[in-house]
Every structure is written in C-alpha cells, then in structure tokens.
Amino acid sequence: MSRMSPVHLEVEVVQDAGLACGEGPMWDPVRSRLYWTDAGGQAVYQLDRTTGTVSLLTDLIHTASVVLHADGGLVMGGAGGFHAWHPQTGLRPVATTCDGQAINRINDVIADERGRVFGGQEAFREDQAYEPGYLYRVDPDGRVGIVEEGLHLSNGMGFSPDGRCFYLVDSIARRLYVYDYCSASGAIANRRVLVQLARDDGLPDGMTVDAEGFVWVARWFGGGLSRFDPDGGLERVVALPVAQPSSVMFGGADLDELYVTSAATHWVSPVAPEGHDYHQPRGGPLFRLRPGVKGRPEHLAAV
C-alpha cells in the first residue's frame, strides 16, 4: 500500500467500555440501532440511535459478528458455528457441522441479496501449527458448504453495489481479495489480490463497502482506516486515536455515519509492524465519525 498522509476527522466516542475485542458492527435501519460484539467474550451490544442509549442485547453464546435476519432477529457467527437469535424465541442452531466436521471459530459473517450467509474461520494461532481455515456458505434451505479454503484469518467481507464482486480479507496474509460473484448460485470464483498491505500498514481487519463502491478497511496495529477504490487504489487514510481498530459499518438515518469498533486486548505479536509502539492506546471504545460519503443497507439473512 502506498504512503499517504492520514486525514484527521472529528472522532466521537459512543461507548467506552474497554471491550477486549469490540467487533462485528451491524446497522439496523428499521429500528435505528447498531449492534456489535465483544469477540473476547459472549456479549452483543446495541445502540439505540434515537435515544443514544447503549445496552446489552444478549450474552447467551460466544459471538464474533452478526448479520440481520429477515425475521427481525440476528444470525451470529462464533466459536460454535452459526446460530440465530430472536428476541421472542431465543437462540437456535443454524449450522454447527459441515460434512460431518464441527464448524468452529467463525469470525466475520455477511448475508447476500438472496439471504445466504457467509462466514470464515479464524484459523491462525501463533502457538500451534497452522491449519488452513475455511469460508462457509449457509443457504436458506439449510445446506452448508465450503466455498474457499486455505485462509489464515478470514475477516471482513462485502459485495460491490452491482453484486458482481465479493470481497474478503485475510488478515495474516495482509490481503484484500476480490472474487467474481454469481448471485443466482452463490458461487465465488477467480480470486485475485485487490490490495496487498505492507507490514507497516498493520493487519487488514473488518471492512465495508460504501455507496460509491469504495472499500473501507480497518487496520489492526495500523491505527486507522483505509478507503480503496474498486481497482484497489488507495483513496484516503483516516487516523484514529487507537492502535487496534477492528471493523467498520455505516449507519445513521442517512447512512452517513461511520461506526468503528476497536479492541483493548494487548496482543504482542510477531505479525505486528516492526518496532510497533505497544505503549499507545490499544482500543476498546466504539467510535463514530462522518467521512462525507454514505453507506448502503446490508442484506438480510434467510437461513
């Protein structure tokens, strides 16, 4: 990634609970709420944008990230696979096995326009031999399949506005991939590297796609966000007051607010940039800023 001076926008702290690993922000335009998780535990939080109130939504199961369900609930990805939660009916399993093997350590999840849910694994562990991770797809009819493999730490995903491209981050490889996407079948194909980050950039983490088709990526260890054009060119860098931003999501009545989760965990790692300053604030708060562009509504799950 080429060097660029960061933009310094006004950054508002929405919640400062010092979450070990704030993650998975998801905007609900019907209820004017933002949901996000503490992937270091089991908590899912909600922000009522109308009142400004932050509250605990549920803590029934480990959840790394969520997508909105068409029934008004959520689909959660976490250590035990995929589960659905509804405020009236509670928790139910959606997909916990595939081809007889347990689905575990799901990190980010996303739904496509036909209600399928994709979720990738966090396979990388510094203290273990590396075992490649998978990207799963759960279909509305209940079928579960592996659509990609060999991932180190599957992270943020997104679709281009025309629905023809699928984006996927592999954090440890420091790559943002783009695939051709077929909405009719749910197939991804023709993987290529859209962006290769340098070690000094930090690790690409969660991401979202704005209304103009540009990709926003949070950079763990990188202290900011990067916005890339559809060809992978760096359009801007936004500075943040913490080293470990983890994910991004547009929200607000006009989808012109950008919410950023971050992590307080003190992860001293050989994958960090050379000479990384571990004395700077790590993270933990939920931030809000206004970047001057708008997002798009997220698709609803139907699994």
Please identify every residue annotated as catalytic: 205
Task: Compute how many other C-beta atoms are within 10 angstroms of the C-beta atom of residue 89.
Answer: 10
**Is residue 201 classed as helix, strand or coil in its secondary structure?**
helix
DSSP class of 69: B
Element housing 110 (H / E): strand 106-111
Q: How many secondary structure helices (H) and strands (E) does the chain include?
A: 0, 26
Residue 288 makes CB contacts below 8 A (sequence gap 6+) with: 11, 12, 14, 257, 258, 259, 260
Question: Phi first, then psi: what are they for 200, rounded to 5°?
Answer: -65, -15
CA 301 to chain centre: 16
Structure-token match 């023709």, residue found: 190
First to last CA, the chain: 37
